[in-house]
Amino acid sequence: MEKKIPLTIDGRAVQGRAGQTILEVARHSGIFIPTLCYMDRTTKVGACRVCVVEVEGARTLVASCCMPISPGMVVRTDTPKVQAAQRMVVELLWSSGDHNCLTCERNGSCELQDLVYRFQIEKPRFEITPPGHAKDLSNSMIQRDLNKCVLCGRCIRACNEIQVNEVLDFTRRGSRAKVGPAFETDYIDSDCFFCGECADACPVGAITLRPARFGGRPWETKKVRTTCTYCGVGCQMELNVHEDRIVSVTGNSAFGEPNLGSLCAKGRFGMDFVHHPDRLKKPLIRREKGGDLEEASWEEALDLVASRFKEIREKSGPDALAGLSSARCTNEENYLFQKFMRAGIGTNNVDHCARL
C-alpha cells in the first residue's frame, strides 16, 4: 500500500503521495492556488510564478507547481506576502502585452483576465507596452497574435510533449523572446500539422481558431459533447454551438480516453460539412432513366436499392456488386456492413475509404 505523506496547507492537515507537488495536493484537497503556465500531462516548468506560496523554513516564496511535498511541510497560500507577489506577476503580464478584451476571442474564457479580476486590479501600475509583433494570418485555421502572449510555454509543451509534432519553441531571448516555429516562420511555411493543440493549450488570446472568429462569445456558446466521426478511434470532443451553428471544436481532457482532450486537424477543423449548403439531408433517387434526382422517403430509397441489388445479383451474380464503407462510421457499423456484403450479398468485394 502506497505510503501517504502528511503536510499542512493553510492550517489544514492534508496528505499526498511521494512525487506530488504542493499544487497537486492543494487541488486534490480543494484549496485554490492560481496558475497560468501549469498544464497537466506536460513538464512542470514554473515559468509564470503566479502559483508561488510560502513554505515554512524556505528562504523565498516557492513555485507550488514544481515544489515536491515532504513530510511535515507547512504551506501558506493566502498570506499578504503571497498575494502581493501574485498580484505583481499579473500586473507585469498585463502591462507587457496588448490585452484588449473588447475584440479578443478569449474574452470570458481567458485565464489572465480571470486573474486580473480575482486580484481586483483596476489598472496595472506599469505602462502598457505591447511588443509590436505582426499577426500571423498566413493560414485559414490558426491565428497567432504574439502581442497577447504571456510566454507561459504551454503551447510549446502541448506541441512537443502531447502531440510530439515538435514545431514550436522559444526564439530570441530576454525582452525580445517570442514563441513560434523554427526561424520565426509563419505557421503555413512551417512543419505545423494544424492539429490546433496549441490553441487549446493557450491560456490567453495569443493563439485562437480563425474559423471561430466573431462566431460567438464563450458565454453565448453551448458546449455539446460528441464523438468525432472521422475515424474509428472515437475521440471525444466538444462542439461549441451558437445559434444552432458549430462555431468551433475543442478538446476536453476531463473526458479521458481515448484522446485525453487532444484532436487531429480533421476533428478540429473538419466540421464545416455540417452546415455546407450542398450537404444531403434527404435521400435522392432518379425515378426515370436520364431524369433528375428527386427527394424521396427513406422507405422508397431503401426499397429501390434492395430491388436493384436483387436484380443485379440474379442477372450477373454476387461479384457484380461491391461495397465501399466509410471511416466515419463506427467499428460496429463497418462490421455489420462487411457482414451484409459477405453473408447477405455473397461477395468479398468490400473496401474502405480509409485504405484508399
Same domain, 298 and 170: no
Q: Is 317 left (phi over 0), alpha (psi -120 to 50) or beta?
A: left
Mean of pLDDT values over 300-314: 95
Structural domains in the chain (count) = 4
At 113, phi and psi to the nearest 5? Answer: -60, -40
Range of the domain at 305: 280-316
What distance separates the 2 farthest-apart alpha carbons in the chain?
Answer: 90
Same domain, 8 and 66: yes
Q: For residue 122, is it within any domain?
A: no
Amino acid at 71: P
Per-residue pLDDT for 2 more than 80? no
Same domain, 154 and 239: yes
Q: For residue 121, is it within any domain?
A: no
Residue 169 burial (10 A CB sphere; 0-12, 13-18, 19+) = middle
CATH number for the domain that contains residue 22: 3.10.20.740
CA distance 189 to 230: 26
Q: For residue 124, is it within any domain?
A: no
Amino acid at 318: P
Same domain, 293 and 253: no
Same domain, 145 and 265: yes
Q: For residue 205, is it within any domain?
A: yes
Q: What is the pLDDT of residues 248-291, one digit of tens each?
A: 999 988 888 899 999 999 999 998 889 999 888 899 999 888 89
Is the torsion defined by CA of 307, 296, 330, 263 positive or negative? positive
Per-residue pLDDT for 91 more than 80? yes
Q: For residue 104, is it within any domain?
A: no
CATH number for the domain that contains residue 216: 3.30.70.20
Mean of pLDDT values over 222-233: 88
Q: What is the pLDDT of residues 33-88, one digit of tens each?
A: 999 999 999 999 999 999 999 999 999 999 999 999 999 999 999 999 999 999 99
pLDDT at residue 250 in the model: 94
Lowest mean pLDDT among 70-74, 199-203, 250-254, 312-316: 250-254
pLDDT at residue 58 in the model: 96
Contacts of 356 (CB under 8 A, 6+ apart): none
Mean of pLDDT values over 195-221: 95
Same domain, 146 and 250: yes
Q: pTM, whole model, 2 decimals?
A: 0.85
CA distance 128 to 272: 39
| Cα end-to-end distance, the chain, whole Å | 51
